[in-house]
Each structure stands twice: as structure tokens, then as C-alpha cells.
Structure 1
């Protein structure tokens, strides 16, 4: 099926092919005609399936028939700076094929706001932004959102995470009532479904189920290891498989710095990547990783969404993700665009019960492996201990913690120590 058969103009159809799509992916084939019709769309497809092009191509075509205006017609909200840059690049690349100039503005925090304000003086047709910086620019009168005709929530589930929900609601209050709404993500938890129910008008639901044709070619492994030996095992796997590049996920910024330092001292070119770095440092590390100047990047979940690294051979879960959805997004950094990849998860005795919950949500069970020389000595905990957290949605609430603290204080008062 050629792109032109979906209703795209010859220029945009040719631009899609030139960007590497030999034919529309399933999510593109299912979404593009409905977006061109102006319908609201709720699209769920696995990572690496071409979702960005699925909304960028038809929205750019819609702009060609819209009257020129200073304020943006298309607003794309994303959760991270890196995803904003990547989505902006896709729009800019496709826009080069159009007969009329399309102004694309990419807005995110962590950098000076002044250059972005200057860039907006000439207006913008497409704005790709993180919610916080977008609101800052609106408050500085650098941008108005009253003419937005098309709203896209990219990685919609992450936009509803703690810290984004209030900002998202503030942005929605600034938009016109009549507009096209497009929700795209690899996972749609209940919070997104609730928001979709309140915002979308008679939406077209598109769910691209994983099949042998659409399922990314990712070999998943679960290796049992003692927690203190994970870094040594990681080094062993990198050398054994001769991975040219590997993305390693950890739970905290401190762990990212610590593991990267250990690997670097062991002779492996490794760098941390997390939200504690300046935006300039983050952009530099990511670009150098894409250019294969770093062999290993140790990161938090900051890199789990939207970042496209061509031909990345492996992903390692040094620390397990909080949720099954995060697991999906993490391993989706490899095995993209028809390539094969490997996803390795380190299973410590403390993490076994948590990984079983992840597997349950994923409807799968991975065989536990051991690596010679790294056999674990600790006994795995088969049942999740109370009060240790676990998969997102199962953690103790703030009220639970307050009750526990109050009970502990009462106990201390009733039985004081000398």
C-alpha cells in the first residue's frame, strides 16, 4: 500500500518514503485517513511503530489548506525535552517537501527562555512543547493558543504522571473548545482513558495488536544475579556479546552516575544520562551516543520514552522498572524499524516478586537464567513483602504511610525505651 493511497499529497508521500518508510506501517495506515478527515483519534501501538509520522504527515497536509496565521494551528505536547526535539525534527523534515514554508517551533525547559521567545516573534504553525515551558511562554506573552485547531498528546500516559497533570489541565484551559484531539502512545492506562473520555469527541480507536508481523524482534532475557555483582555482570555481557552500544536503565540519578563511573574505570566508554544534567549536557551525550562515541549510556526512565536510536543492539534493566508499561517503553528502545534487539533484565532476590508482577501484566513468563561465574547466593523472595512498594499502582499511598507513622509513634509512646 503506497502512502498516496491514504490521501496524502504526492510531496508528503514522497517525503515519507525518503525518510525510510518503504510503505505505511500499520498504525500509519490506520490513522492517517482519519486524521485527514478531522476525526479525533486514540491510537495505541508498540514502540518503534512510526506513530510520530502517523500524525505529523496528515497534520502538515491540513496546514496547507488552512489560512496563514501568526499563532499555531498545531500543538503537540510531549513529556520530555528529548522527545520534543525528536518530534520537532520529524515535522521539520517532512515540511521541507511542502510548497509553502511551515514554521515549526520546539519549546522545552532547561535552557534559556529568551531565544525561544525571539524565535516565536515570527509566529509558528506547529509548536512541539513540554507543558511547563509552554505555559511559561504564554505567561510571557510570547505565544497565544487561541487558534490551535489540532492538539496531539504524544506519550499521553506519561503526560498524566505526577507533575504533568496540573500543567496539562492548565494548557487545556487555554485552547479553543472546537479542535481535533489526537492521543498517541504505546500504552493507555486508566488515567488516559478517563481523560480521553472527557476530551475526545466520538473518537476513532486504533489499537495495533502485536503480531508476528508487527511485534518488534526483541529477545527478552531474565538473568538472576546478586545485587552487588550486577555491574560486573553487565561488563561481562558487554564484552561477551560485543555490543557496540547498550542503553542501561537504573532507578536513580545517583545510580546512573555510579554505574557509569564504574564501567568507565573498567575500560568501557560509559556516560550517565538523567534529568540532573544540564540540557546542553543531555543533548551532547545523546548525540554522541547516536554517533557511537559512547558505548554505554546509563540512564533513568528519562530515556525510556520516544528516543529513537537507530540500530541499538541491546537494552539492560539494571534496576527493574516501576510498572509493566515502563518495561514496555524501556525495551522498545531496541528492535526498532525492523531491526532485531535484545532486552536483558537483572533479577535480584529482592526484585523477583516485583518482576513476577511485571510479567503478569505483560501476560508472559521468562525463563530465569544464570551466567557462569555470577550464580546468585541470595534466595529469591517469592512473595512481595508488605510495605515494600512494588509495581506502580500497588505502592502504599500517602495516607497509608501517615497511618503507619502514627501507629509507630503511638507504639513508641506506649512502650518508651530507656
Structure 2
């Protein structure tokens, strides 16, 4: 069982976090912590959300990065800082270093999307592209530190960074006191562990009864494996790339082992649903990592049903094309975007008959494609693919039944198959 934060020998204390809050006051956004009735209806829990996607660089990373930068001596500031990151930490360090007049070098893997590289450079940082992974980037960071005597701003395994992230919990608990409510649990995404460590220290010190539940992508269960004495098997493409970390921190794992009550491993489908739910129901943008907490509620609803749950929406930096793809995929899951395939006689009027019938039943035809060259299609026939909008799966089945009643053999297909 986790100990409370009054236990000795924690590398970060409540006093450290309160001092961090004092330092960053007025320099980062005190983001809203609000009830989310639509998400509550979806999950069966009483959901409150901390909107860290409203920071200037759309991520909680600003807090820890700023605390670390403010701790530097004048000599360290003059020499400059360095960080390794493929995303939010890079932008947070670059932005606040620029504000404070500190030269910043950010080492990013060569595989980092151009949009993230450009965003980091736009804040005034010098970007170095090195290697294929963060581990490769770390080797270059270590070389540059030796060569230029730069100060490392670690993305998570640093006491000042952890303290900065813990200020989120102070703001959450202040808001709950004002609202006259108490939380049963805080559900927090885990990458390297800086966010959950800082939050756990503050929350357990001020409200020991609150359960701290971590969330990792099932493809990257690093902290879960460490805390359970298991081999960590990480790899694969995850939507939650912001928490796709193979190696958790030494400091963060020490804190998590003592203060984190449990960790949920979420599957990719749950993360997709969560990103879509934030957009569709909460009208806010969450990246995969930012939506991980909600994904846990969607994947394990019974665990959280009836409880008052605080979620940390830790970031909103997601590629617009990826977000569009998620929206369409979720429409398909809900039966609101349906692709069907049917064999038809290749003669005038057939297409009009089919589309008219769909329209009469309140379906909306989005796309139509004929295939006449398939060898398994009669010379006087064709394969017709239709993608249509419907109310739900039941409505889609009604339309399919009506088409079959007209003599057409209809098969539902995955949307991607319609291009085959």
C-alpha cells in the first residue's frame, strides 16, 4: 500500500511544491478545473477535468520546465540549457527559456514530425536533430553537455521539474475546497512519471484519502512493470506518444512506489474514444496522452462508477490530420459512418434507385465508387461501394435490410476496404 506524503525521505516535499507555485505565479496559466457533466453521463462517474491543454504551449510541461529554469544561476543562464524531447517538453523549455533570455538547445530525434520541430524553433530554440529515438537523442545531449557545459532540463527525473508539475494538485485541491466537494481519486497519465509524482506528493500530503491512479498506454507499461517487478516490454505505435516512455525516472519511480495506488493500462481503442469524447462532448482538444485518464474510465467503468474523479487533461498537441482520422473512425465504431458493398447489374437507373432508397430512409450518401474490372464480377455487372451517414448501427441495419429487400446482396465493410 502506498504511504502518505508525510513519510520521510521523499525526494520532493509539499514545501517544495508550494515554493514552485510561488515562483511560477503569473507566468503560467492557472488552468480551469471544472465539472464535466457530459463526460459524467458517458462514464457513470462524477468527472472533473483539469484543462492543462490551455497552457500557452498547450501542455502541463511549462510548469516544471519554468521552475527548473528559474533555479539557474546567472552563470548557468549565460551558458544555456539543453533538453531532449520530441514534443511538449521541447516547446515548454524553448518558450520559457526565450522569455527569460536563456539560450536553449533542444535535441529531437530525426523522426520528429516537422510541425513539432518548427514549433520548437519558433520559440527561439536551436534544434538539433539526432538519431531515430529519444535514447539516441540522449546520447547527443550528453555529448553536447560535455562539449558546451550546458545545463540539462530533464523532462521528468528532476526534483524541480517534479515540484513544478505538483502545482497542478495544489490548484485542483484549492478549487475543490471552494466548490465544497472532495475527490475520491485523481487519474493521471504516466510517461516518465514527473506529472504523477508531483501530483501524488501534494495530494497525499493535503488530502491523504484521495486515491492516485496512474494511466499508461498498454504498449508502454514501464512504470507498471517497475512497480510490479516485471520485465517491461515496450514498443509499437501508440496514439499516446507523449507517454510512450520505455525508461521511467529513478526519482519518479521512488515516489510512485510509495504514493501511487494503482496503474491502469489502456488499449489504443480506449484512447481513441477518449480523444473523440473530449472533442465531441467537452468541445476541447486532447492529444492521446492528454486523454489517457478518460480512456481509463471508458475501459474500466465499474472501477470508477459513482466516484468523483479528477482527470488531468495534460496536453492538447495533436496533429489535425490524426484528429480528423480519429473522428471518422469513431463515427464508424458508432455506426454513424457506414460503408457497404453490393453487386449490381451494370445498367442505367440502378445507382439512382439505391441512393434514392437510402435518402428516403434518412441516410446520407457521402461517397460512391463503382468497380467494373474485378474478375469475380460478371461482365454486365459491377461492384458498388457506398459510404453513408446514419443515426446509429440500428439505423444502418434498417437501410441494409431495405436494400436486400430490393434484391441486392449487401455486405458491410471497413471503410478502408472500399478503396481496394
What TM-score do you get using the length of structure 1 for normalisation?
Answer: 0.30
Larger Rg: 2
Greater helix fraction, Structure 1 or Structure 2: 2
What TM-score do you get using the length of structure 2 for normalisation?
Answer: 0.30
